[in-house]
Amino acid sequence: MLTSFLITGHGSLNAFLHARGLSETAGCLCGNPSEDWQHVLCVCPLYADVRDLDGLRIQQSTSGDWIVAETLMNQDSMELLENYARTIFSRRRTLRHGQPMPDTH
């Protein structure tokens, strides 16, 4: 379920919530003006330590778009994506409640 929230941008991401009047901001806690699925999955510095774009088989096109088709067709990549989604949504809850991030090193 978390994987589908992440890939579709639905669920608790601020860009989705803000577009529906359910959040005061579309912004990410890192300061980016839009907390959408591409930002969280591919570039947000809050999750850089757990992100593995190569393992997820995510590529960026020359136009800057993120390509996730190979991820969705590979079982190993989907398992990595599920683990990543679980980790980042847990971390988001911690950060949103003002708690310090646990040491990951």
pLDDT digits 0-9 by tens, 72-96 = 899 999 999 999 999 999 999 999 8
Q: What is the pLDDT of residue 104?
A: 47
Instruction: Calculate the CA 18 to chain-centre distance.
Output: 16
Residues of the chain with pLDDT under 50: 104-105
Q: What is the pLDDT of residue 62?
A: 96
Residue 75 inside a domain? The answer is yes
Q: What is the pLDDT of residue 28?
A: 96
Number of structural domains found in the chain: 1
Tell me how many degrees the CA angle 44-47-52 measures, rounded to the nearest 5. Answer: 100
Residue 47 inside a domain? The answer is yes
Query: Domain range for residue 80?
Result: 2-96
Q: What is the pLDDT of residue 10?
A: 78
Distances from the Cα of 5 to the Cα of 2, 37, 103, 104, 105, angstroms: 5, 8, 26, 24, 27
Residue 76 inside a domain? The answer is yes
Q: What is the pLDDT of residue 14?
A: 95
Residue 102 inside a domain? The answer is no
